[in-house]
């Protein structure tokens, strides 16, 4: 199992988004570019959220669904990772509307196998 969350750095007391795999903790996401860490847990979580938003890409489905903003029928969506998918029509298929569909929330954790 892999566990991703903001963790406090033992040496400085600051925070980074990290992963835990086979007992090893490593810095993950965009926090690899912030070795000094963040002041708070929430800042580290927001750093990861912003990193995910920067990776948004469009996907197309063989079935149609409703746009999460206006309920128009669409076969396209935006996602940063293939899991947090927001079906968005042509008008709303932007980073700003994806953020409306999935706003930042503190306390995020990811568990994967």
> What pLDDT is recorded for position 35?
85
Section 5-24 average pLDDT: 94
Secondary structure (DSSP) of the chain = -EEEEEEE-TTTS-EEEEEEETTEEEE-GGGGG-TT-BSSHHHHHHHHHHHHHHT-EEEEEEEEEE-TTT--EEEEEEESSSSS-EE--TTT-SHHHHHHHS---SS--EEE-
pLDDT band at 1 (very low <50, low <70, confident <90, very high): confident
pLDDT in tens, 40-93: 999 999 999 999 999 999 999 999 999 999 999 999 999 998 889 999 999 999
* CA–CA distance, 82 with 75 (Å, rounded to integer): 15
Write down the pTM of the prediction.
Answer: 0.90
Residue 87 has a pLDDT of: 98
Find the mean pLDDT for residues 96-108: 95
pLDDT of residue 112: 80
Average pLDDT over residues 32-45: 94
């Amino acid at each position: 199992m892999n566990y991703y969350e903001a963790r406090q750095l033992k040496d400085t007391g600051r925070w980074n988004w990290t992963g835990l795999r086979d007992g090893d903790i490593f810095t993950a996401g965009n926090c690899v570019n912030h070795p000094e860490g963040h002041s708070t847990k929430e800042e580290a979580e927001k750093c990861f959220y912003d990193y995910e938003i920067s990776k948004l890409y469009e996907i197309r489905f063989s079935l149609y669904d409703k746009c999460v903003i206006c309920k128009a029928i669409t076969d396209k969506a935006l996602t940063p990772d293939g899991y947090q998918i927001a079906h968005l029509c042509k008008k709303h298929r932007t980073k700003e509307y994806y953020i409306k569909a999935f706003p930042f929330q503190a306390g995020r954790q990811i568990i994967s196998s």
